[in-house]
Chain A
Amino acid sequence: MEPFVRLSAVAAPMELPNIDTDRIIPARFLRRPREAGYGPLLFHDVRFAGDGSERPDFVLNRPAYRDARILVTAENFGCGSSREMAVWALMDYGIRAVIGPSFGDIFFENCFKNGVLAVVLPAGPAAGLRRALAERPGAILTVDLEPQTITAPDSASLRFEVDAFRKHGLLTGQDELALTLEHLPAIEAFEARRRGETPWLD
């Protein structure tokens, strides 16, 4: 997994709440192999018209936001389906950080498995960031994981919370499997105990 340490990039605001993973990546594309790349499919049906041309009103199609690598979203971004391809699509497009007041739980988890930093900010500051980005299209945000700070277009610094487990994973790019395998004796002990307590499960 590609580590995430620090990112300074254009950030795009998305005002709609409850943007579901079907909207991030429509279901009909999910059978595509991972290697084929999901970037061109990101937000496909709201980003492109029926004839394949770009919809000019969609935020990532506007000139100032074309190079966005950060999204600042509204409530419950990534709700719905567990499809990890929603994160693959963001990642392949170039989005490495999403910032918002809340996220779909499974989407949130999937982000960290793929090197995408998802940041929960309280509703007020998140709305403030979206407003600032709308007022200054193309403005740069800096997201710094080690000190857990976001530097806003007006140079104000916002601190965010991230749990130590996820932070370590992103900073090092290490996947969880290696860590889990260190606990193999504990897993074996658990299974032995389970055999005794609930033998019908074996």
Chain B
Amino acid sequence: MATGRTMFEKIWSRHVVAEGPGGRVLLYVDRHLLHEGSTHAFGRLEKKGRRVRRPEACVATADHYVPTAPDAGEIADSEIRTMVADLGRHTRRLGITFFGRGELRQGIVHVIGPEQGATQPGITLVCGDSHTATHGAFGTLAFGIGSTEVEHVLATQCLWQLKPRVMRITVSGARPFGVMAKDVILAIIAKIGAGGGVGHAIEYAGPAIRAMSMDERMTVCNMSIEAGARSGMVAPDETTFVHLEGRPYAPHGAMWDRAIAYWRTLPSDPDAVFDREVTLSASEISPTVTWGTSPQDALPITERVPDPASVGDPARRASMERALAYMALAPGAPLAGTAVSRVFIGSCTNSRLEDLRAAAAVAKGRRAAVPAWVVPGSGLIKRAAEAEGLDRIFTDAGFEWREPGCSMCVGINGDTAAEGERVASTSNRNFEGRQGKGARTHLMSPAMAAAAAITGRLTDVRTLAR
């Protein structure tokens, strides 16, 4: 019996090169994105004397380790300096396009791929970074891989993969006032859990997803891994095509028409069957913050810190107690009003132009009560934001306007919070130590983070509405 196929199935089956043992398939990789973390793999490849199969399929940028201070100059830490320099050396040696420091196109790898049009519907895309799911916003089968796999893709342009199951998450209705894409994905993760998507590729669907801009879809897909899923996708549509047209790597002329015709065949067929279906109503989602040390620990800002004593499962209770001790939060205390030490607006989740606009709209004409950083996702975004005057809005409000990079999302480039500091952050992980040893992270949307900067406390951004 012929049944409809999911978008995932269509892209997957088109990329199968060979069948292997144990149900494995050799999957072809159309696009490979690289960053400083890839230097381990480049080094091994060089040692073995292996060539890169398709240098033209690769795009590299420096993001994880670059300093983002406005006047950073030479990188002070010699190990970091070497890592960034090594990426430049390897990419030059191998003929791989590299956007390095000082180059306008440099930025966070999951920002620049789409920005350059290297991320396209229907392709397979990998990167040695778990947030590679971001690119799924374009109807791309994109997933994060480890260092050995990076080496394997460089050498063969393929990967041995087991087919994941497919989960559709349908978000119905429309987002209420003050609710951003970040709130939608935090609500999804809270619902299905940090391990809810393990072994699955997710397709996000429904009117609330369809109504989203590309920047918003990227925010949603970006955090698929925070629900355990290696990939998360949105079917391409007119929004996707309009966004993509004219970008450097995008097809043009007659090729553009041919590409669009193919891309229109990608959405899941109406009778496609998914292994798992989850539904949410956008109208029930509120501005959200995390209170614990897993992204699943998310609640509406109007709620209180949960009480472990009310939880039956002993393992869950112990885990909550540990999280609350780390976060220095008391059960039953209102989330709103919790004092924060600093604010971080940036990361591959929320550093795009619309994110900066949303934060600036809250900051405009006000004054930050705590140190607040704004780190644009790329040099091009920084320039576009400056052309709109967003940088002035931020600096007039006492925010710091910085250079592009992963910055305080990842805690490896010198941008960290101090032990015990509480950070209102637009990043994607609130793990213990993620933003610096002993630092406490609350995840939230750019608008909510800007609101926290203004009041110095976790704040319902709707109360600052003008």
Contact = CB atoms under 8 A, between A and B. Distances in A.
Interface string B238-266: 00000000000001000110110010000
B28 interface: yes
Interface in B301-330: 315-316, 318-319, 322
Main SS class of interface, A: helix
B13 interface: no
B144 A106 contact: yes
Contacts of A79: 194-195, 228
A84 B40 CA distance: 10
Interface string A67-91: 0000000111001111111010000
A163 B23 contact: yes
A2 interface: no
Nearest to A113: B148
Interface range, A side: 35 or more
Interface stretch (A4-12, A137-145, A149-157, A175-183): A175-183
Contacts of A198: 122, 259, 262
Contacts of A166: 22
- Most chain B beta carbons < 10 A, residue from A17, A31, A164: A31
Contact of B432 (A23, A103, A168): A23
B433 A23 contact: yes
B318 A15 contact: yes
Contact of A102 (B157, B198, B226): B198
A91 B68 CA distance: 34
Interface in B48-74: 65
A84 B38 CA distance: 11
Given A28-B411, A82-B145, A23 B228 contact: no
B160 A176 contact: yes
A163 B144 contact: no
A27 B411 contact: yes
Nearest to A46: B432
A90 B166 CA distance: 31
Interface stretch (B123-131, B173-181, B368-376): B123-131
Contact of B160 (A30, A87, A180): A180
Contacts of A87: 146
Contacts of B226: 80
A194 B79 CA distance: 41
Given A104-B228, A106-B130, A187-B156, A20 B431 contact: yes
A163 B258 contact: no
The 4 nearest A-B residue pairs measured at CB = A200-B251, A164-B22, A76-B195, A165-B22
10 contacts: A20-B431, A30-B37, A76-B198, A81-B129, A82-B145, A102-B198, A106-B146, A113-B148, A180-B152, A194-B30
Interface of B: 17-18, 20-24, 26, 28, 30, 37, 40, 65, 79-80, 83, 120, 122-123, 128-130, 144-149, 151-152, 155-158, 160, 162, 164, 194-195, 198-199, 225-226, 228-230, 251, 255-256, 258-259, 262, 294, 296, 315-316, 318-319, 322, 410-412, 429, 431-434, 437
